[in-house]
Chain A
């Protein structure tokens, strides 16, 4: 009884937060995917499968969705493996039964929602023009709920939910095991991902068949399957090279040489396959998407290392018992908290194209020619070395460089403050011991500070990279008709698509889903590759 009361109070405390976080934090991800599968300009229209993605990424879409399905299967298998490794194997695996029931119930819920959502979302459209009566909306809502297909799906979901709850209860009470809650959630996650993977795979395969069929009718061959196989092989070769490289570090002598030769072979082969096939798969892709991703990547490469490096230097200097440390900290932090809108317009003027702008005054001091800064979309490497630089090496446009300088400027203080806290958590005895052993300042920094600071560095790198993919305000303020192609990140492209006089929600959602996928992939990558090198002391 007391436990029940505690549970109820806790949920009463949490209810507003849960509702809002679900509605505006989690649901939108699924909703964006739903919207992206439809022709959806201002209002919902028919289901069009992956067409929005194909418009953005051409044939690469099929490859990516194929991998997405495989990834879901792999994740499900990982959970099954955890069940298998639990103390009592048979019992652990038997939890797959309630897991499947729960997964099925979740799937039925999603099914109900996908039938209901277009009906509900259409209500404002349906009641437009009618007299504004209180309760009209609610009555329309009930009408939508009572549409035959919706009621059928709803009943199916209720049935599934009850069955799943019953089966779960049986396993919880009768089968037990050491941690029924943990086992149950593992099995549910496994089943949900397996079902999601199967659905994605089905969607992908039907879409591929449709596309191939359409191409055949117009007399062309669409080599989607061979593209999937070749690109997958290329990626697998690169992954294999990485795994071998990790092994080779531990080997020595002749075997090491053989492994290195194999790595080189895999790298060349995989790289060749990817370089040859990906552009072919992307021939009809939206150039804006490609350009946007390219700009975003350059933006990340051009800001993250600099802001982290300078931030670490500032933190290290502040850590040397300087006088007025808190004053320095306060001032360093200013650019980070000030409104981006206000500081970006200052940089707009500091780096304006006029020959008399402050930035050009500075160049004059060093007897360098004045630049057009924010009006200059030409790559900086081309600007420095002249016109003979090949196209893929021109580097970020000068306008983008200004935005990079601005972004670095805003984040240095934040990085410094977090690094400073990280430095403070390193035990001082380590330094004393190393000093007694005669270590130099540089040696201390290299062998104590940097390794023990690695969790902070890891955290900041992650935040910084995600930050560059999120960046919007400064680019929105500093872009202009002359530099657009050089500075528009994918985020800005998405916003443009949705804010245009003729908005395209479906296409915008597809692009934002791609962007979200890229960020997720980077996060996973970073966890995998940097996580293994992080020293948690």
Chain B
């Protein structure tokens, strides 16, 4: 269900690909726009988003466990060893998912509303364990990151963040989870590591010579 509106900053048409999007960016003037009941409100402007040579871009399409999705937005994070992307996936049923792309290691995850109580950041570190839905998860890395820009449609308002901490967790199989301490209470995402070929991605970026 596509809806269209105009950018309050430059007047350009702004089209929504994902019906449940709360925020988007104007592709012409880089304004960050938040949906209100009536129209779009400009809340800020995107500075240069980190280019980390990802082959994925807005409008890339793919299939995860027999469910088709379209990449509708992106949050980039910058940390000590580079940057990574959280690509916002819009599924056809209106639900959201995330495709994380960290130096071309891919994982799909979903925001979990119900999960065990998450202790504060100061009580969590490498080796800390948690059991969620039969999956035994262990924290493998604690990452201090900076917000590296947003692009396209997101299911919540998210912009102009400063430093934040992520606890990445792995299981004994391909299970994957992240605690996002940028919100209070923290957000919890859970999913699995995926291979590039598993997602049958289309409309990717092109690379000279490849």
A and B pair up: no
Residues of B within 8 A of A (CB): none
